[in-house]
Chains A and B, each alone.
Chain A
């Protein structure tokens, strides 16, 4: 229960700062406060503000609001300050400077942005604080905490200044806070799922909202007529209907905030969430219609007005959708031509989608619909057109903005609630509204589901219905709408405000808190967030075709028929028009999935090298059926992390056996102690390294090579072509020996390369110095030799130790040396400490693809070794800062790929960003990998496939051995190739 304490701290800090501000600055407290509040959307409702489009949209004339008696004094104070704050005003004041001021206090100059930034900062900090205690956030939704925080902050300000100026300003809300959230949800809406359920969504959004608002309004009016309500609640039928319309709409922000954390199954989620987005049109129209009726006076409303109201519904909803589609089209078309201006690609996405929102707002159409459909429809083409980096940018920016907007909304909801001047409590109204809102929602859901289930393929069962009724959260939209009401026309506005706030708080807090236990208790089907396997993807595509065909044959033009038609149209015309040629060509989804899986497999394949070796069969992470325990966990981890963003080996490996865990602990200790100094070392030197472009190219190369080898290996495993690989592996070891023998040979011979490859570490270590002192001399030239020596030694040890087993393979525990070796086998990155050669092979294979840096190191070192003559061993030893044990280890073939190496060298970029978290790094890493065009196996000769004489020495030619050799190939391939290229 840290959180309450933290909360208090936040509140305290903030309040102190407020107190300071108010104390520091000249002018009345009130004015300062109002300045603080206003920019953040807190209503110091200035009468000058021309009615924003939104006001028009909802048909409210806000011009008069500001004249409300309560606000008037504040306005008087604020306005002069606002005007004097503007730059021209400043200049005017300073036309006659008395003397030169060294430092000037320019508070007014940057006040607005400063305060906005501060508020966002506070909100973000609050988020951090909440998440410090994971216990709290798993139980209490963030939205609740934020509202509480808002209440606290508002209370403090109220206590400190006796004024309650903070408020969620409707204009701010609709123009700036809501769009990011809608954009985010529209853009990332799973379109297939959405359109699969479009019938249900529309039904709930339209019929449900109509039912809710009318039923609530009528029922409240009935209560009023029955005399249960306070006499002072001065409202007629139309007022109640108006209130019903604004209170009945399920709020996308609240729904998203709560449901995101609950992880109910996709169908349920998309229905509730889709409804909350699409009901905007209904809400807008109802609100507008009733508001007009209220203002006209209900007696003057004629039948024709009702007809107009209905017509307006179609115009608003369809118009909004059309606006969205048009902008989606423009956006897709625009991104097609941004090839030369990649850097502003993301901007187009945001601008055009936002423009669609504003356009709809201006035309008083449903802006939420416009934005949702714009995001939903443009995504496919935009994603295909823009670059991977832009895609990431778009994604992160959207998420960031949506998240911050959501935070601010909830916080200000809390703050606004403190403003008691604008609400008047009536228990009956509040209580009945709460009951009606809940009951009618439930009744509506049950009735509609009953109807829907006659048409749905998979009926919604009662658990779904419970969740749907319970998930009907009200939120900031309702609040903003009720604030927009015109007090002079809607007499009971204060009552409505109070009721709305209560309803919003109740739904968000109470239902938000209880929905998770409810989900558990009802055993609602959770979503399984597994990535599709290739089989699933492929067969589901086939299923789509089958269904379309069957519908055709059965002569029933149903959903699949139309989807099929649409896909044809899309493929034939739309995609051609809206996608780049290049993007269009490679965009096939199945290929996409295949590619992703391949990358993921390649990484984990090498990653779990050790496990592959010790398990009888080669296993791919994406092959769930075949997995052993550890592999399963690994796979799941990868899956859960989407594209494999988390490749943190330590995390992954903790799921393994007890021994492994011990080893992991040990590893952590060691890693913690050993990494850092080297990292610094590395950072110092890597600055001068190779240009980023080349580096990227190299990365790609390495990955491609690895991928190719992996693919090859799979293929060959399949075809039982083990022989050549085994041989190659063997040959490699032979080569090692040979190379050690022929130390003095010409550097560009194959053995040479081998050596250098194996001995990455020393080379890497000296790399910088080589670069710097390139011209200097032969002293450094001996690098390779030293390396060679070490390598040979390791190899020999290895061979001696295990004559019967294959080289470097840890097949089973008994073969392994005592504990350190075993540990090493399982946790290859530990190679640093252990010096047992037995683990070499697994280690070698383990890291390469995971860490590009190492791959890079390797390839670089191989290149380097070619270009630079060997250094004498002693010299090399002297140069090394590492203890001798490590040295030896490094000599071992596996050492090159060990993570500890990683500190020795960093890509320039990396070095600069050394402060970044490892997660970021790995994520980046993966993205880079994803970028890469994958495997074209034929381009390169398979590195390991050259024949070797060693068949005889390879006693066990079975699957495992072959795999080992494959693994070896994966590792060794890159240097070969790299060096080969340099040779050429």
Chain B
């Protein structure tokens, strides 16, 4: 894929990016190529349409929301660094426990991974998954096989299950707590080539 220094040179602040994301330079290179293949009209930035052109994403029930997660704070275009940073959350967590206490939290930390998932639900960005928000996601994921009544039921149950402070919504803390038994580090990771 023509992965070499010249490609890297094209990327803005590449060293910083590598440091921040933890991707190796070949990862970065690979992603950069991907970025450009997604970028249909070579504008150096990606917009939502570019993402939506990925055919597989169209059949993904959460596709739209996942795309939205790539666009923080209502921006409509993202550059490569932002793109890579988002993907970096799904890097597997290194096993080496060389944690310096003052080092910043790695981008692929458990909390960050969960944050990404949490944002899928929390559409109004108020830091809470409300009953309604959960219902919408459920509707997306469950499709037509499940009746509205069942959906309600599941939603209620889920919220009750996770809701610790009784506000009938799931905060991020509660979200984390409800998944504390899940090996998120492994489950929410993919292998980048």
Contact = CB atoms under 8 A, between A and B. Distances in A.
Interface stretch (B3-11, B97-105, B139-147): B139-147
A936 B161 CA distance: 20
Interface in A561-609: 561, 564, 568, 584-588, 590-591, 594, 597-598
Contacts of B150: 591, 594
Contact of B164 (A457, A541, A625, A937): A625
Contact of B161 (A528, A586, A590, A622): A622
Contacts of B157: 534, 594, 597-598, 714
Given A560-B190, A588-B142, A714 B51 contact: no
A546 B62 contact: yes
Interface string B100-116: 00000000000000001
Contacts of A564: 56, 60
Interface string B153-183: 1101110111010001000000101110111
A542 B138 CA distance: 9
Contact of A533 (B143, B156, B161, B191): B161
Most buried by A among B31, B164, B179: B179
Given A597-B157, A711-B153, A553 B95 contact: no
Interface string A454-476: 01011101000000000000000
A553 B54 contact: yes
A535 B137 contact: no
Given A457-B186, A594-B157, A622-B161, A549 B141 contact: no
B11 to A, nearest CB: 16
A597 B182 CA distance: 18
Contacts of B54: 552-553
B22 to A, nearest CB: 15
Nearest to B144: A585
Nearest to A626: B164
A198 to B, nearest CB: 15
A623 B161 contact: yes
A584 B144 CA distance: 11
A620 interface: yes
A538 interface: yes
Contacts of B162: 535, 625
Contact of A550 (B90, B143, B146, B154): B90
Nearest to B87: A554
B154 A594 contact: yes
Given A536-B181, A568-B59, A590-B141, A549 B66 contact: yes
A750 interface: no
A542 B117 contact: yes
Most buried by B among A536, A545, A590: A545
Nearest to A547: B190
A813 interface: no
B146 A588 contact: yes
A556 interface: yes
Most buried by A among B38, B66, B90, B177: B66
Interface in A524-558: 528, 530, 533-536, 538-543, 545-556, 558
A276 B111 CA distance: 38
A568 B67 CA distance: 20
A560 B70 CA distance: 19
B31 A561 contact: no
Contact of A457 (B121, B145, B191): B191
A543 B138 contact: no
A215 interface: no
Contact of B188 (A538, A547, A718): A547
A936 B152 CA distance: 11
Contact of A458 (B37, B92, B168, B177): B92
Question: In the complex, which range does the number of interface residues on chain A fall in?
Answer: 35 or more
Contacts of A585: 145
Main secondary structure of the interface of A (DSSP, over half): helix
Contacts of B175: 539
Nearest to A551: B190
A516 to B, nearest CB: 24
B158 A535 contact: yes
A550 B181 contact: no
B127 interface: no
A339 interface: no
Contacts of B14: none
Interface string B13-32: 00000000000000000010
A558 B145 CA distance: 28
A109 interface: no
B87 to A, nearest CB: 6
Contacts of A560: 190
Interface in A684-725: 711, 714-715, 718-719
B126 to A, nearest CB: 19
Nearest to B168: A718
A935 interface: yes
A534 B150 CA distance: 13
B177 A625 contact: yes
B181 A556 contact: no
Contacts of A552: 54, 56-57, 60
A719 B156 CA distance: 11
Contact of B191 (A455, A543, A622, A711): A455
Contact of A549 (B62, B92, B142, B178): B62
Contacts of A548: 56, 60
Interface string A285-314: 000000000000000000000000000000
A467 to B, nearest CB: 18
A626 B164 CA distance: 7
Listed from nearest, the 6 A-B pairs whose CB atoms lie closest are A555-B34, A535-B178, A552-B56, A549-B66, A545-B62, A458-B186
21 contacts: A533-B178, A538-B158, A542-B121, A543-B117, A546-B116, A548-B56, A554-B192, A555-B34, A556-B34, A556-B193, A564-B56, A588-B143, A590-B138, A591-B150, A598-B157, A620-B161, A625-B177, A625-B178, A626-B164, A719-B168, A934-B153
Given A538-B154, A597-B161, 20 more contacts: A458-B92, A459-B95, A534-B157, A535-B179, A538-B141, A540-B187, A542-B121, A542-B141, A545-B62, A545-B141, A549-B63, A550-B87, A553-B34, A553-B38, A555-B37, A556-B191, A591-B150, A594-B157, A597-B157, A622-B161
Interface of A: 455, 457-459, 461, 528, 530, 533-536, 538-543, 545-556, 558-561, 564, 568, 584-588, 590-591, 594, 597-598, 620, 622-623, 625-626, 711, 714-715, 718-719, 934-938
